[in-house]
């Protein structure tokens, strides 16, 4: 559950996600004027399975050095992960949005019903990953904005020592609720962050 620091970015046109929530396509131009959008954000489709698996594993290796043992990172298998992605793509539960730059998947977000019982919040942010070259580009913000429902409380788990992600989420109103858990594959504990619902006024 890694995220880069909260940068500035802009919102763009929208396509429809499977649950009719709006998923934006970011219109930011590349560094060279006139070169077109830097990325687009679309709902997950089975065709993304292998590219998303490659992205997911790369994100772990880029972000979790020192937090996850090297042998665990080295053993991550894109084919096995792709099979999991295909199942998620065909599931009606939750929303997964994928960020593409050309034919490459450079980030993704998964958001949906809580996986815990009793639930800490109405929704759970299950994953938010961005490739390291895109840190600070605004992509993490765009992905989170694509799925987050302000009027629903939301929880997530993050490595306690992942200070970059924690700083990012704090800017969205997430804070630790005092709950922690140990992962057998990691060298640090995970802590739960919760964001309260925001009252929407007409």
8 pLDDT more than 50: no
pLDDT digits (tens, 9 = 90+) for 167-199: 999 999 999 999 999 988 888 899 999 999 987
CA-CA distance, 93 to 75, in Å (whole number)? 28
Query: What integer pLDDT is reported at residue 201 of this predicted model?
Result: 61
**pLDDT confidence tier of residue 72, bands split at 50, 70 and 90:** very high
In a domain, 2, yes or no: no
In a domain, 33, yes or no: no
128, 112, 197: which is closest to 162 by C-alpha? 128
**pLDDT confidence tier of residue 38, bands split at 50, 70 and 90:** confident
In a domain, 7, yes or no: no
Specify which of 15-24, 27-36, 69-78 reaches the highest per-range mean pLDDT.
Answer: 69-78
Number of domains in the chain: 1
Helix, strand and coil content of the chain, in percent to the nearest 5, comes to 25, 30, 45
In a domain, 109, yes or no: yes
CATH number at residue 150: 3.40.630.30
In a domain, 90, yes or no: yes
In a domain, 43, yes or no: yes
pLDDT digits (tens, 9 = 90+) for 42-70: 999 999 999 999 999 999 999 999 999 99
Q: Tell which phi-psi region holds residue 47, choosing left (phi > 0), alpha (psi between -120 and 50) or beta.
A: alpha
In a domain, 3, yes or no: no
| CA 163 centroid distance within chain | 16
pLDDT digits (tens, 9 = 90+) for 87-144: 888 877 899 999 999 999 999 999 999 999 899 999 999 999 999 999 999 999 999 9
Supply the range of the domain harboring residue 189.
14-27+38-195
Structure tokens at 149: 């429902």
Cα distances from 174 to residues 8, 132, 158, 164, 166, in angstroms, run: 19, 23, 11, 13, 8
In a domain, 119, yes or no: yes
């Amino acid at each position: 559950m890694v995220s880069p620091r909260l940068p500035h970015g802009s919102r763009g046109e929208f396509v429809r996600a499977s649950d009719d929530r709006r998923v934006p396509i970011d219109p930011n131009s590349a560094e060279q004027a006139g070169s077109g959008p830097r990325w687009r954000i679309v709902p997950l489709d089975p065709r993304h399975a292998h590219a998303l698996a490659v992205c997911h594993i790369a994100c772990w290796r880029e972000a979790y050095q020192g937090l996850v043992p090297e042998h665990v990172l080295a053993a991550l298998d894109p084919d096995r992960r792709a099979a999991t992605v295909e199942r998620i793509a065909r599931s009606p539960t939750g929303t997964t949005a994928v960020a593409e730059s050309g034919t490459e998947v450079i980030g993704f977000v998964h958001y949906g019903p809580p996986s815990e019982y009793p639930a800490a919040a109405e929704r759970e942010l299950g994953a938010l990953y961005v490739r390291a070259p895109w840190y600070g580009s605004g992509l993490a913000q765009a992905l989170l904005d694509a799925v987050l429902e302000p009027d629903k409380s939301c929880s997530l788990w993050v490595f306690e020592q992942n200070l970059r992600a924690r700083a990012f989420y704090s800017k969205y109103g997430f804070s630790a609720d005092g709950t922690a858990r140990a992962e057998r594959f990691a060298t640090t504990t995970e802590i739960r962050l919760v964001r309260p619902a925001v009252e929407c006024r007409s």
